[in-house]
Amino acid sequence: MGRRVVITGIGVLAPGGIGTKNFWSLLSEGRTATRRISFFDPSPFRSQVAAEADFDPELHGLGPQEIRRMDRAAQFGVVTAREALADSGLDLAGFDPYRAGVTIGSAVGATTGLDNEYRVVSDDGRLDLVDHTYAPNHLYNHFVPSSFAAEVAWATGAEGPATVVSTGCTSGIDSVGHAVELIREGTTDIMITGATDAPISPITMACFDAIKATTSRNDDPEHASRPFDGTRNGFVLGEGSAAFVLEELESAKKRGARIYAEIAGYASRCNAFHMTGLRPDGREMAEAIKVALDEARMNPEQIDYINAHGSGTKQNDRHETAAFKLSLGDHAYRTPVSSIKSMVGHSLGAIGSIEIAASVLAMENNVVPPTANLHTPDPECDLDYVPLTAREHRTDAVLTVGSGFGGFQSAMVLARPERSLA
């Protein structure tokens, strides 16, 4: 085995609880953060529910200039990156800055900022030839979301490779997977990575309305996200960010870092089937899972918990249930599976990283978070989805997966570095 990569710092900003501690309280208590949309009047929309974060940028240390120039998603990313770096106890000032890099995942970039600025420059759609004299300078930062990676680099002092990874709803796994590859190959020793999205805006609600992907359960917003339940009828849009400090295992040990987990395996595949549709057999996700396990040199039996994509659409829940069976065999029936989207919603590109954070915290606490709102299981989904309440469960290794528009299917295996290798 060559260079191994571990997580040594975590920062989370999620609906229902900002900061890692509050996030874990929400998950372990099985509370939900979904509610009727408050950011704008949702009444014209088919789906009027979202998981919103109560975020005050000033309270999180952002200055007036940062607040003005950054989209909400960029603000989230900077706040969680700073939290992760502080959590790691790492002082980048002592390192060659070129050996530290940044990868940030985001599915839709500054879509909320773009929606807002479009309204102004077009005068609410009246102008085809939109008016540049009303455009702020930072519109370019919204136009190209790599500005998020630049902001995180500036906030942390990294000067090595930096990029945004944007593979739709698997961005939050793929971004971290990309960072792992850079450390393994020796390009960097430290990565600031993670993902962010803040898509709760009219244009996002409208586009998911158009394909009925989001829930119409507007009369019961707190219980609207129901992965694996027979009564589910679409996902609940969310927002948030999670960031990590990754280091090479030996150097992390040498400096006495707290090691949360090793990122032991990662793989991504494409279904090459449909931009939004999934084939029920789960074949491509299963392939990603198998390759990630091989890379981790682990057997399916070593997986103690599966953090599911669990978006709460019928096609997803059946697709990934099939994928788990195909890749893990009988062990799929024996290992707990849950979806935190039941509590924090689906924050598109960010959720993959938020779910990595949840997986690591499950290992820290030896507690598996539940699938909230799961009262009447879909008979087609016959695994152990940990309904309603968290479960104490020895958790040494976690499989977390994502699936998204464009056909991307990603899988990551998190494990304790001292495990036995197959």
Partner 1 sequence: MTAKVVVTGIGVATPNGLGVDDYWAATRVGRNAIGRVTRFDPEQYPSKLAGEIREFVAEDHLPSRLIPQTDRMTRLALVAADCAFTDAGVRPGDIPEFDMGVVTASTSGGFEFGQNELKKLWSQGSQYVSAYQSFAWFYAVNSGQISIRNGMRGPSGVVVSDQAGGLDAIAQARRQIRKGSKLIFSGGFDASICPWGWVAQIAGGRMTTSEDADRAYLPFDANASGYVPGEGGALLILEDAEAARGRGAENVYGEIAGYGATIDPKPGSGREPGLRRAIEAALADAGLAPGDIDVVFADAAGTPELDRIEAEAISAVFGPGRVPVTAPKTMTGRLYSGAAPVDVVAAFLSMREGLIPPTTNVELSPAYDIDLVTGAARTANVRAALVLARGQGGFNSAVVVRAAD
Site for partner 1 in 128-147 (CB under 8 A): 128-132, 135-147
> Binder to partner 1 among 11, 30, 109, 352 (CB under 8 A)?
109
Q: Which is nearer to partner 1, 211 or 388 (CB)?
A: 211
Q: Which is nearer to partner 1, 39 or 118 (CB)?
A: 118
> Binder to partner 1 among 4, 36, 69, 119 (CB under 8 A)?
119
Check binding of 108 to partner 1 (CB under 8 A): yes
Residue 150 to residue 269: CA distance in whole angstroms? 28
By CB under 8 A, what part of segment 282-311 binds partner 1? 284, 287
> How far does Cα 85 stand from its chain's mean position?
18
Q: Which is nearer to partner 1, 229 or 287 (CB)?
A: 287
Q: Which is nearer to partner 1, 177 or 300 (CB)?
A: 177
Compute the C-alpha angle 47/373/371, nearest 5°.
Answer: 110
Residue 266 to residue 400: CA distance in whole angstroms? 10
Check binding of 181 to partner 1 (CB under 8 A): yes
Residue of 138, 142, 169, 178 with catalytic role:
169
**Pair 386, 370: CB distance under 8 Å:** yes
Q: Which residues of 325-338 are buried (b: 16+ CB within 10 A; e: fewer)?
A: bbbbeebbeebbbb
Residue 288 to residue 271: CA distance in whole angstroms? 11
CB of 391 to partner 1, least distance (A): 34
DSSP E strands, 106-251:
162-165, 190-197, 237-238, 240-248
CB of 393 to partner 1, least distance (A): 32
Q: Which stretch binds partner 1 (CB under 8 A): 247-255, 267-275, 324-332, 353-361?
A: 267-275
Check binding of 244 to partner 1 (CB under 8 A): no
CB of 314 to partner 1, least distance (A): 17
By CB under 8 A, what part of segment 184-203 binds partner 1? 185, 202-203
153's tokens: 């680099």
Mark 86-105 with x for binding to partner 1 (rule: CB under 8 A) and - for no binding. -----------xx---x---
Q: Could you write out the three-class secondary structure of 225-286?
A: CCCCECCCCCECEECEEEEEEEEEHHHHHHCCCCCCEEEEEEEEEECCCCCCCCCCCCHHHH
Q: Which is nearer to partner 1, 285 or 390 (CB)?
A: 285
> Binder to partner 1 among 64, 65, 275, 330 (CB under 8 A)?
275
Q: Which is nearer to partner 1, 119 or 331 (CB)?
A: 119
Q: Is 105 helix (H, G, I), strand (E, B) or coil?
A: strand
> Using DSSP, how many helices (H) and how many strands (E) does the chain show?
14, 16
By CB under 8 A, what part of segment 204-223 binds partner 1? 205-211, 213
Residue of 138, 142, 178, 309 with catalytic role:
309
370's tokens: 């539940």
- Least Cα distance to 399 among 285, 237, 322, 313 occurs for 285
Check binding of 326 to partner 1 (CB under 8 A): no
Mark 140-179 with x for binding to partner 1 (rule: CB under 8 A) and - for no binding. xxxxxxxx-xx--xx--xxxxxxxxxxxx--x--x---x-
Residue 226 to residue 246: CA distance in whole angstroms? 33
CB of 161 to partner 1, least distance (A): 4
CB of 216 to partner 1, least distance (A): 14
Instruction: List phi, psi (to 5°) of 127.
Output: -100, 125
Q: Which is nearer to partner 1, 27 or 173 (CB)?
A: 173
Residue 23 to residue 87: CA distance in whole angstroms? 15
Binding residue count for partner 1, defined by CB under 8 A: 83
CB of 377 to partner 1, least distance (A): 28
Residue 29 identity (one-letter amino acid): E
Strand partners, 408: 270
By CB under 8 A, what part of segment 369-408 binds partner 1? 404-408
CB of 127 to partner 1, least distance (A): 8
- Least Cα distance to 163 among 177, 183, 178 occurs for 178
CB of 400 to partner 1, least distance (A): 18
Residue 355: count other Cβ atoms within 10 Å of its Cβ: 29
Total count of residues recorded for the chain:
422
Residue 267 to residue 262: CA distance in whole angstroms? 15
Q: Which is nearer to partner 1, 74 or 224 (CB)?
A: 74
Active site residue 309: yes
By CB under 8 A, what part of segment 21-80 binds partner 1? 44-45
Kindly list the catalytic residues: 169, 309, 346
